[in-house]
Each structure stands twice: as C-alpha cells, then as structure tokens.
Amino acid sequence: MKETITALLGDALNTLKQQGEVPDDIDPTIKVEATRDKAHGDYATNLAMMLAKPAGKNPRDLANALVAALPESAAIRQTEIAGPGFINFFAATDAMAQIVARILDAGDSFGRNLTGAGEKVQVEFVSANPTGPLHVGHGRGAAIGDSICRLLEATGHDVTREFYYNDAGAQITNLARSVQARAKGLDPEDDDWPEDGYRGDYIIDVAKSYLAGETVHADDRHVTGKTDPDDIDAIRDFAVAYLRREQDLDLKAFGVEFDVYFLESSLYEDGNVEATAKRLIDGGHTYEADGALWLRTTDFGDDKDRVMRKSDGEYTYFLPDVAYHLDKWQRGFKQVINEQGADHHSTVTRVRAGLQALETGIPDGWPDYVLHQMVLVTRSGVEVKLSKRAGSYVTLRDLIDEVGRDATRYFLAARRADSQLTFDIDLARSQSNDNPVYYIQYAHARVCSVLRKAENEGQRFDHDLAMDHLSQLTTDQEKALMNRLSRYPEVVAHAARSHEPQHVAQYLQELASDFHTCYNAVKVMVEDPSLRNARLALGLATRQVIRNGLDLLGVSAPEEM
C-alpha cells in the first residue's frame, strides 16, 4: 500500500517537473507515513511541504497540483489536502480488506522481505567469559541480540550469531584457583582463599564434578575431570568447559543458539595478535612510554592514547579485541553488530580507532554497536541483588525458572536498549491483564478458540468463500484491525533497519488491543456463512501476524491459555 502510494506520487512529481511547476534538479525522498489519526485517512505524505521551498511555491498549491497529477488507482478511494500541506490518502475498503488475503497467502513469511539481499551480517552478543552462570545483563543482551538476528533474517540477511570469550586470561586463572581452593576444602572465609577468588556456590559444584572425574560437554568443547587437585591446568580446562556448559544450558532454556564460539586464545595461537601488533608498530602509530607500548588512538578520535602492551610484556585485552575485529572483517562481514553492556562503551571508540590505525580499508565507524543499559531486578518493590548460586548477582536462570522463558524474553527485549530497565518479577509473573506477554498471547489463544468452536459446530473455515466476501468486513473495529495488520511489514522493516526489536513488542501490544476490541464488538460465529467466514479469515490473519511477530522476539504463541 505504502509502496503503491509512493509510486503514484513519483509519477505525479515527474509530471509536475515536465510541466515546469517544479525544478528538474530536485529529487526529494518521497515519504509516505501511516497516519496516527483516522481523520487524516490511512496514509499521508509531506511531499508538498518538502517541495515548497526549492520550488518557491505555496505548499497547499503544490499539494493541489500533485493531487491533480496523480494517476488513477483502484487502491485509493479519496485524497484530501489538509493542514499546512499534507496530502491524505484514504484506501479503498476493498483494497484494505485484501490485506487479509495477502496475510493468509503469505503465512509465516508475511512481513518478511528480501531487502538484505543475502548480505552476510555477523552479530556478536552475550560473549560472557566462562567464569560463572549468566546474569540478567547477559539475558538482556541475549534477548536483544537474538531478536536483532531474527529481524535481520526476516529482512533477507545471512546472519551469523557469534559468541566471543576469553578462556586463558587473568580471570580464568582466578577461576581455576578458586575451583582448586574448593577442591582442597577451602572456604572463602579461610585465610588461604585466593585473593579476589570467585565465591559463589557454583564453584563448589565445579570442584566436586572435577574430583569425581565427570565428563562435561559444552557446545564447543568436551573435557573430563582429572581428579587431581594439584593440577591447575587440568582444573582450568575443566572449569572452563563446565561453565561453558552451564551457560549453554542457560541459553538453551532461553531459546538462543550460536553458530560460532570464538576463543580469544585462538588469536594468540594463530599469530593474529602478534601480526596485529606488528602492523600497528610498522604503521608508525605506536610509541614506548613508562615501559609500555602505546597506540596513538587519539589520532583516530579517542580522547586518550591506550596501552597495547603492558610493561610486563603481556598484551592488554585491547589488542586481541582489534585482532578479533580484523578477523571478522577478513571473514567478509561488511556488516557487524556488537551487542554488549553499556558498561563497556569505552571499547567502542577504542576498537574503531585501532581498526583505523591498521589502515586496511575498514570504513570509519565500523562495526556497529548496540549497547544496553543496566538491568535492575525488583521483587515486591525491593531490589534483588543476590542469587544464592552466583553469590553476587541475579542469574538469568533464576529469572527463567521463576517467571518463564516467554515473559523473560519479552520483558528484556521490549524496552529500548539504551534506557535502564527495571525487571519487576511480580509483574512478569502475574497472569493478569497488567502483563503484556499474556495480553498478546491471549489474543492468539482467543482466535484459536473461535476456530475450535467453528470446527466443533461443523462450520469449518471455508477459505474460498471467505476470500469472496472480505468486503463484508466493514465495522470500524474490523477496519481498524485490518489497518493495523497492514502496517506489520513496515514495523519489521523499521525494527530491523534500526536494530530496535522493541518496536515489534510495541506493535504486538497494539495489535492485540485492536483484536480484543474487535472481538468484544463483533461476533464471529454468525448465521450468514459468507460474513462468518470473512470474519474467521480476519481472525486467522490476526493470529498469523501475532505468531510471526512473537517469533521475532523468541516468544511462543500458545493455542490456549
């Protein structure tokens, strides 16, 4: 619909250019928007106002000229010029009802498009180090990151989900020492407990499993415990595998799967870290000071230079970060999106600066970032800070166990990433109308219920009959619902383009609201078979769109509640 109107306006604009009403050399992007207010028709454009200045004409006169030059179209019932120069379009009722046929025809693929043209996109998210169970912040990253992936897939991209982690650094050594301490029966209160050791109860489980010689299988590794409490290397390998498996189970429970697990250590093994360092040094972008090697990132927009090799000869995390992103680029990802917590935002400028310093033709501003702000968890209005298992934070698993996967995913993805999120456990748990997840799922279940009823009464949905009588969908509530349905593809396109899944959540809530309103106002199971089937078709179309939208958020669409 939007495309149709855009095309019509394009023709009209060309006509005006030929008539000399509008200068040839201006070429505005024609913007057609769905209206907020029904009184303004179904779609509107501000084209006349955009043209007013360059054409040196009054916007309302231009609007008149544009309307006069508009080709005939069966899709448009009426146009009108309003306000300072908007052109409003009223869709023909028959054309509007055809959305129902289009949705049923397209099914699961309704709302999807091919604008991505198969372009390879890599999304890196979660990327938690294997030092403990995933926490709520990782959960937010997982919900947003995976939803972005689903949106990109829905818009025709070839998506790779990647998880990057460090299995060899100082934190991992710390983990190994903590497990070893537990294996030797130490307690965080004991004097010999490692400094800054991990204190959570889960460390006890790792130690027990190691001593028992168990074998753990994670998505990217399999390790058997050696049972020797003095073999720190064996403990390290085992602990990493154990916690990787733990995280995999968390992710699986959350409905998130990765294509690639990328190890920071592999960058050292493959010589990529050294090669990156050499390239930066050879390029003349480094200098020695205070016994360390610095990269002059200030030449590339950073506010201070950064240490890349410490005075003890080890590299900082910064250098492998650059090497890792160079590797992404060399793997052919022209588009890379990094979803991470905003507490790491300082790496954005740094990594980009490092990549520029490599002078390999990587565009300025690559890669893209989506940063999410902190999550605060509350219960009974009080902040929840601790989980028994992890010791110092609320785990993702706690939330999934307590409020369920659907509600957890919905709540973590339904808010803009860059605003702080309060996760209200009581609200997410409540099976009532204050919980948007249930509100949306209930709409889906209600359609299913009507369909069951039709079936039970021997009045199965008759597709052909329905398609012939869609024009009988004429009540205000039905029209509003169809209008909402027709906007779904734009919502998907916009959410995918902007990497903002919350638009889908918002839309689904509005769609559910329109449906419930319609459901209460318009009885489906009426005597007249043609009207009944047309309404069943509208219900089916609504169900389809809710299902498609929930899928983009990784939330299920139950048939009954």
Residue 462 neighbours by CB distance under 10 Å = 17
Could you tell me the two tokens for 365? 């501003």
Residue 444 neighbours by CB distance under 10 Å = 26
DSSP helix/strand/coil, 445: helix
Give Cα 252 to chain centroid, integer Å: 17
Q: Which stretch binds RNA (CB under 7 A): 213-221, 240-248, 311-319, 460-468?
A: 311-319
| Of residues 313 and 361, the one with the C-beta less far from RNA | 313
**Whole-Å CA distances, 540 to 26, 175, 468, 485, 531:** 45, 53, 16, 11, 14
Q: Under rule CB under 7 A, which residues in 182-211 are in contact with RNA?
A: none
Euclidean distance between CA atoms 262 and 267, whole angstroms: 9
Out of 24, 25, 195, 312, the only residue in the binding site for RNA (CB under 7 A) is: 312
Catalogue the E-assigned strands of 257-398: 260-263, 286-289, 292-295, 306-309, 335-341, 368-372, 375-379, 382-383
Q: Under rule CB under 7 A, which residues in 30-49 are in contact with RNA?
A: 31, 33-37, 39-41, 44, 46, 49
Out of 14, 26, 53, 107, the only residue in the binding site for RNA (CB under 7 A) is: 53
Write down the least CB distance from residue 67 to RNA, Å.
Answer: 13
Verify binding: residue 240, RNA, rule CB under 7 A. no
Residues that contact RNA, how many (by CB under 7 A): 95
Euclidean distance between CA atoms 174 and 338, whole angstroms: 27
Verify binding: residue 556, RNA, rule CB under 7 A. no
Write down the least CB distance from residue 53 to RNA, Å.
Answer: 6
Out of 16, 50, 390, 546, the only residue in the binding site for RNA (CB under 7 A) is: 50
DSSP helix/strand/coil, 128: coil
Verify binding: residue 399, RNA, rule CB under 7 A. no
Out of 307, 384, 465, 467, the only residue in the binding site for RNA (CB under 7 A) is: 307
Would you say 351 and 295 are in contact if contact means Cβ atoms under 8 Å apart?
Answer: no
Write down the least CB distance from residue 25 to RNA, Å.
Answer: 18
Q: Under rule CB under 7 A, which residues in 471-530 are in contact with RNA?
A: 490, 494, 498, 500, 502-503, 506, 509-510, 513, 516-517, 519-525
Verify binding: residue 3, RNA, rule CB under 7 A. no
Q: Which stretch binds RNA (CB under 7 A): 15-23, 183-191, 310-318, 391-399?
A: 310-318
| Of residues 68 and 561, the one with the C-beta less far from RNA | 561
Would you say 468 and 433 are in contact if contact means Cβ atoms under 8 Å apart?
Answer: no
Write down the least CB distance from residue 552 to RNA, Å.
Answer: 15
Window 255-294: contact mask with RNA (x via CB under 7 A):
---------x------------------------xxxx--
| Of residues 161 and 415, the one with the C-beta less far from RNA | 415
Q: Under rule CB under 7 A, which residues in 59-98 are in contact with RNA?
A: 59, 82-84, 86, 88
**Whole-Å CA distances, 359 to 63, 281, 306, 321, 352:** 50, 12, 18, 16, 11
Residue 329 host element (H or E):
helix 318-330
Could you tell me the two tokens for 42? 């179904």
Verify binding: residue 406, RNA, rule CB under 7 A. no
| Of residues 180 and 441, the one with the C-beta less far from RNA | 441
Catalogue the E-assigned strands of 355-485: 368-372, 375-379, 382-383, 421-424
**Whole-Å CA distances, 328 to 4, 43, 310, 538, 559:** 39, 42, 25, 45, 42
Out of 14, 58, 173, 431, the only residue in the binding site for RNA (CB under 7 A) is: 431
| Of residues 26 and 525, the one with the C-beta less far from RNA | 525
Write down the least CB distance from residue 211 to RNA, Å.
Answer: 28
Q: Which stretch binds RNA (CB under 7 A): 101-109, 253-261, 328-336, 428-436?
A: 428-436
Residue 436 host element (H or E):
helix 436-456
Write down the least CB distance from residue 225 to RNA, Å.
Answer: 25
Window 442-461: contact mask with RNA (x via CB under 7 A):
x--xx-xxx--x--------
> Of the candidates 306, 302, 300, 272, which has an alpha carbon nearest to the alpha carbon of residue 286?
306
Out of 217, 252, 310, 388, the only residue in the binding site for RNA (CB under 7 A) is: 310
Write down the least CB distance from residue 530 to RNA, Å.
Answer: 15
Verify binding: residue 101, RNA, rule CB under 7 A. no
Verify binding: residue 432, RNA, rule CB under 7 A. yes
Q: Under rule CB under 7 A, which residues in 118-157 are in contact with RNA?
A: 129
- Matching residue, tokens 């400094």: 195
| Of residues 88 and 209, the one with the C-beta less far from RNA | 88
Q: Is omega for the bond preceding 367 within 30 degrees of 0, making it cis? A: yes
> Of the candidates 254, 247, 260, which has an alpha carbon nearest to the alpha carbon of residue 140?
254
